[in-house]
């Protein structure tokens, strides 16, 4: 736009220079024309330079003000978080100390407890009880038939049909069965206890080398082991419940028989007295 206006004015000046005849008029036209085209052609340079400098200063102000403050703030926070993690939450020294303590506890307790648990409890003196005692404490589950045979060697067989009433034979069979059931359950439970102890050792060994981030795996699996242990305890309690129930049921049957026998005896005595 500026160039177009300048061209028009310069063309007018040229036309005037070509057409004016008087020398004084030429000088006048030249001076006036120079003034006009200078005004038209001069760019607003001074105004533009002041705007650029202001903009640059504004950018510098933003960088040195807002951005620097923000970056300093972020850096302060990140440094604080880093310090919190390394000094308070997961201090390397305490992690190493915890690992060392586990290793120390393994060394102090494991063999001590293992040796206590391995003390031989067998106390029988005669061959048949010795065999039975050995088999009920061997932690094996593949010799139940031998267990049944040795149990019979010690406690005898169920009376034959002609030697006892059906009720007595059945109750005797049930007592023996529950005793044997529980002895078998205990052999299995003994083996399961050994496996639980192995699990505890494995978890403890891993704990002595664990990191804060791997420990939750060990904690979680330790709890599932504890659930297994609880289930095993419940099965032993169920066995004890069966056994105790059978025991008082047996006594109760004797009470029923006593009541029946007493009633019969009373009847007999009354009859006897009446006949006298």
Partner 1 sequence: MTEWTAGHKLRSVVLVLVLMFTGPWPARAQFVSPCCALLVAGLSSIQSALTKVVGGGLNQILGVDKAMQQFQQAVVWPQNLINQARGIVAALQGNFNQIQNLMKIPINSATLPVSQQLEQILLSHNPNQIAQTSGAYTALYGPIPQTTAAAPQVLNIVDMTDAAAQAAMKRAIEIDALADLELQAANQLNQSIQAAAPGSAPIMEAEADAWLIRANAYTQAATADLIRLRSVDLANASADIKMGAANTTNLRQALANLLQHQ
Query: Which residues, numbered 91-130, are part of the site for partner 1 (CB under 8 A)?
Result: 92, 95
Smallest separation, CB 113 to partner 1 (Å): 19
* Cβ–Cβ < 8 Å for 29, 9: no
Smallest separation, CB 125 to partner 1 (Å): 27
Distance CA 154, CA 148 (A): 10
DSSP label of 160? P
Q: Which stretch binds partner 1 (CB under 8 A): 103-111, 117-125, 129-137, 201-209?
A: 201-209
Q: Residue 74 has which token pair?
A: 């972020």
Question: Per CB under 8 A, does 158 bind partner 1?
Answer: yes
Question: Per CB under 8 A, does 145 bind partner 1?
Answer: no
Angle between helices 144-155 and 127-136 (to 10 degrees): 140
Smallest separation, CB 126 to partner 1 (Å): 23
- Cβ nearer to partner 1, comparing 44 with 126: 44
Residues 209-220, buried b or exposed e (16+ Cβ, 10 A)?
A: ebeeeeeeebee
Question: Per CB under 8 A, does 153 bind partner 1?
Answer: no
Question: Per CB under 8 A, does 164 bind partner 1?
Answer: no
Distance CA 206, CA 55 (A): 64
- Phi/psi-derived region of residue 156, left when phi > 0, alpha when psi is between -120 and 50, beta in every other case: left
End-to-end CA gap in the chain:
157
The only residue of 94, 177, 265, 268 in contact with partner 1, by rule CB under 8 A: 177
Q: Which stretch binds partner 1 (CB under 8 A): 105-113, 121-129, 130-138, 256-264?
A: 256-264
Neighbouring C-beta atoms of residue 31, cutoff 10 Å: 10
Within residues 179-198, the interface with partner 1 by CB under 8 A covers 180-181, 184-185, 188-189, 191-192, 195-196, 198
- Cβ nearer to partner 1, comparing 130 with 172: 172
Question: Per CB under 8 A, does 87 bind partner 1?
Answer: no
């Amino acid at each position: 736009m500026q160039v177009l206006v300048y061209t028009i004015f310069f063309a007018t000046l040229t036309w005037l220079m070509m057409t004016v005849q008087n020398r004084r008029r030429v000088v006048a036209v030249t001076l006036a024309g120079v003034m006009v085209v200078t005004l038209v052609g001069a760019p607003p340079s001074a105004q533009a330079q002041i705007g650029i400098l202001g903009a640059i200063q504004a950018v510098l102000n933003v960088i040195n003000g807002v951005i620097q403050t923000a970056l300093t703030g972020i850096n302060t926070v990140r440094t604080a978080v880093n310090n919190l993690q390394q000094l308070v939450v997961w201090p390397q020294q305490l992690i190493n100390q915890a690992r060392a303590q586990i290793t120390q506890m393994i060394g102090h307790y494991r063999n001590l407890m293992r040796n206590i648990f391995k003390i031989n409890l067998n106390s029988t003196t005669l061959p048949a009880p010795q065999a039975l005692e050995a088999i009920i404490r061997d932690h094996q589950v593949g010799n139940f038939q031998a267990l049944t045979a040795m149990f019979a060697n010690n406690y005898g067989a169920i009376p034959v049909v002609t030697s006892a009433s059906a009720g007595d034979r059945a109750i005797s069979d049930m007592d023996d069965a529950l005793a044997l059931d529980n002895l078998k359950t205990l052999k299995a439970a003994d083996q399961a206890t050994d496996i639980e102890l192995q699990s505890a050792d494995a978890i403890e060994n891993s704990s002595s080398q664990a990191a804060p981030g791997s420990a939750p795996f060990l904690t979680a699996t330790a709890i599932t082991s504890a659930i297994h242990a609880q289930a095993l305890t419940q099965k032993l309690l169920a066995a004890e419940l069966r056994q105790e129930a059978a025991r008082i049921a047996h006594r109760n049957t004797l009470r029923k028989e006593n009541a029946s026998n007493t009633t019969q005896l009373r009847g007999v005595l009354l009859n006897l007295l009446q006949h006298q």
